[in-house]
Amino acid sequence: DAGVIQSPRHEVTEMGQEVTLRCKPISGHNSLFWYRQTMMRGLELLIYFNNNVPIDDSGMPEDRFSAKMPNASFSTLKIQPSEPRDSAVYFCASSQGGGAYGYTFGSGTRLTVV
Partner 1 sequence: AQSVSQHNHHVILSEAASLELGCNYSYGGTVNLFWYVQYPGQHLQLLLKYFSGDPLVKGIKGFEAEFIKSKFSFNLRKPSVQWSDTAEYFCAVNSPLYNQGGKLIFGQGTELSVKP
Least distance from partner 1 to the Cβ atom of residue 61, Å: 17
Residue ranges of alpha helices (H) inside the chain are: none
Q: How far is the CB of 36 from partner 1 (least distance, A)?
A: 12
Nearer to partner 1, 54 or 81 (CB): 54
Residues with Cβ < 8 Å from 34, sequence gap 6 or more? 23, 45, 46, 47, 48, 67, 75, 77, 90, 91, 92
User: Which residues lie near partner 1 (CB under 8 A)?
Assistant: 31, 33, 42-43, 45, 48, 50, 55-56, 91, 93, 95, 97-108
Of 52 and 81, which CB lies nearer to partner 1 in the complex structure?
52
Min dist CB 3 to partner 1, Å, is 9
Closer to partner 1 by CB, 30 or 81: give it: 30
